[in-house]
Structure formats: C-alpha cells, structure tokens
Amino acid sequence: MNRKIIYSGIGVFFFLFLIIAGSILSQSGNTPGSIGPGGIICRPNGQEISVEELNAKLQGKGVFENKAAVFIEAGRKYGVDPVLVAAIALFETGNGTSNAVRNYNNPGGLMDPNNTMVLQRFPTLEAGIEKMTWNLYKNYISQGLTTPDKIGPKYAPPGAANDPNGTNHLWPASVTKFVNQLGGLTYHCTPVASIQATGNIKAMLEEAVSQIGVINYIFGADNYPNFDCSSWVQYMFKRHFNIQLPRTAEEQSKMGVPVDKSQLMPGDLVFLQGTYKAGVSHVGIYMGNGKVINNKSSSQDLQIDDINSPYYIKHWHSARRIVTQQ
C-alpha cells in the first residue's frame, strides 16, 4: 500500500511515497484494545486478565507481588474488575509500600467505621483486598460509578479533609494510568472510540495507546520513555514514518498543510496555544472520533482527550496534516 507523505516547512511541500514492511512492535508490551471513558484502555476481546499476566505486572510492587489470584477472586466475587481494584490499590499505597498496607493490611485507604479519623486494620492483606473490593461494589460500581473518572470525585473528593495538599483532583488520571499499565479493563468498559485508521497511521496510534501509563511527561526530555509533548510526537513520527519533525510544538505547527478542525483525520497534528506561554505551546496526535492523544503534563502524562472539551476549545490553535494514506 502506498502512503502519501506531506512534509513541508515555510511553503515548501515534498511528496514522498513509502512502503514500510513488517510490523512495528510496541516498546510498552501492552496490547491495546478499544478506548473507553476517560482514556481507559478496554482489554481486547473483553478477555479478563489472567493470574499469570497480573502477577507479572505486580512484580516489584511491594506487598502485592504474587497477589494476582487474590485480586481476581475478590473481583469475581463482587463483580468488580480486578484490574480496577489493583490499580486503585497501587495508587493508594505507593506501589504496595505504604504504612497503611504494610502495617494495617489496608490497600484502599479505608477508614475505621467506628472512628473515621483512623485507618481500618485488617487481619490479613487478603481480607483487606476483599473488603476494599466489596466497598468498591457497594458504594461505587452498584451506583454506576465504574471508571476512575466517575469514581474519583466521590472516592477522593478535591478539598476534602484528607486532601491538605490539594492533590485529590489528580486521582482519576493517576488511577487511569495504573489501569492502563496493567493492560486495561474488562468489566464495564464500553468503548467510546476506536482507531479507524489503517496501515502505518493505525500502527502509530495503536502503539500510542499502548504507551499510556508508560510514557512520562518531563519538560525538555526526549529519550524514551521520558518526553514532553513535542518530543513524543517527534519520536512517534520518526519511528513510524522516518520523518524528522522539528523539536518544538511551535516549529511543528509550520509543517505539512493546514487542516480545518471539521476535516481532521487520524494522524493529523493538533496544536494548542496559551497553555503555559503565549503562542503555540502544545501538540497532540488526532485519533479520530474527536479524540486526541497527547503527552499532556507532568501530572497527567500521556492521555486521551476530547477536542471538544472546554480546555481544548479554549486553547485551540490549529491542525496540520503531515501524512495521509491512500
């Protein structure tokens, strides 16, 4: 299949045709499925994670090493995705190392029902995981709160007494990152978007989705897995199309050809302005269906956003097409 590459700067357009053979393997090791609410990965074919796969993901995670069977058994018992339970536990305990989980067997930050200012203590870690899972079902899943973006405002409300540093608003994005590191959800994961591209654009976007939870945002960094917004875009286009884009978002916004927002296609670059400085200041890759994947910030890292969200509407600058596919 021929791919038409549009690659221009300051009014010069080059048209190249490339045939890139073979598959390009993801460095993250995740196999992406469809995209669910809030940028959650839905596991391929709705297959629940296996004990072996989850145990592999939990290696080096403190007290949770080799506890996959406990998460999966509790999840099945109460109808809660074991990946969701494990992701919340990993975030709440700092990868299984906190005082609460080591000394109280409390993986979910549950408070003592008789004294809500004191952590609840459990006789075993297994008991703590089961109670956490039951709590998730009773107070969240059964009420239709099934994904981190829905659970977060109730589980970790911003401004709560236990939020002295004002970081609870980061809970949904942080738990989503852990979910995607573990390979995504099966239960209650209804895709809201899928990758409609083909060929190398599809390969690039699939790899991008698989990198959620792997790629870190560090301003000025440009070495896998640490990038800022523009160096990550530069890395992906070099990797999949052998195109060397300029380093900054502002420079990248002069490449290719302009595209109206209503005519966006998968693989197009979208640019925001005024996010932290005047002028073009951010770039992401359009996925289709109104979704853009971008290495957003040090607190959010690589994630999927909606171009019609208030943030994107407020800061929208332009879009450019670097490659098209025929």
> Is residue 188 in a domain?
no
> Is residue 202 in a domain?
no
Same structural domain, 281 and 226: yes
Same structural domain, 167 and 78: yes
Tokens encoding 307: 């171009």
Collapse the DSSP code of 117 into the 3-class scheme (helix H, G, I; strand E, B; otherwise coil) and give the result.
Answer: strand
Same structural domain, 162 and 228: no
Tokens encoding 28: 């993250």
Same structural domain, 277 and 239: yes
Same structural domain, 161 and 228: no
Same structural domain, 128 and 53: yes
Same structural domain, 298 and 246: yes
Same structural domain, 98 and 232: no
**Domain range enclosing 313:** 3-20+217-325
Same structural domain, 132 and 244: no
The total of structural domains in the chain comes to 2
Q: In whole angstroms, give the CA distance from residue 43 to residue 81.
A: 11
Same structural domain, 42 and 13: no
Q: In whole angstroms, give the CA distance from residue 153 to residue 5.
A: 44
Per-residue model confidence (pLDDT) at position 121: 97
Q: In whole angstroms, give the CA distance from residue 150 to residue 154.
A: 8
Per-residue model confidence (pLDDT) at position 38: 72
> Is residue 30 in a domain?
no
Same structural domain, 260 and 130: no
> Is residue 124 in a domain?
yes
> Is residue 233 in a domain?
yes
The residue from 163, 181, 199 where one domain ends is 181
pLDDT by residue, tens only, the chain of 326 residues: 444 444 444 333 333 322 222 332 333 344 455 777 777 888 877 789 999 999 999 999 999 999 999 999 999 999 999 999 999 999 999 999 999 999 999 999 999 999 878 999 999 999 999 999 999 999 999 999 999 989 999 999 988 877 777 888 889 988 988 998 898 999 988 776 667 788 999 999 989 988 887 899 999 999 999 999 999 999 999 999 999 999 999 999 999 999 999 999 999 999 999 999 999 999 999 999 898 999 999 878 898 888 998 999 999 999 999 998 75
> Is residue 253 in a domain?
yes
Percent helix, strand, coil in the chain (nearest 5)? 35, 20, 40
CATH number at residue 86: 1.10.530.10
Same structural domain, 170 and 239: no
Per-residue model confidence (pLDDT) at position 77: 97
Q: In whole angstroms, give the CA distance from residue 6 to residue 25.
A: 24
pTM of full prediction above 0.85: no
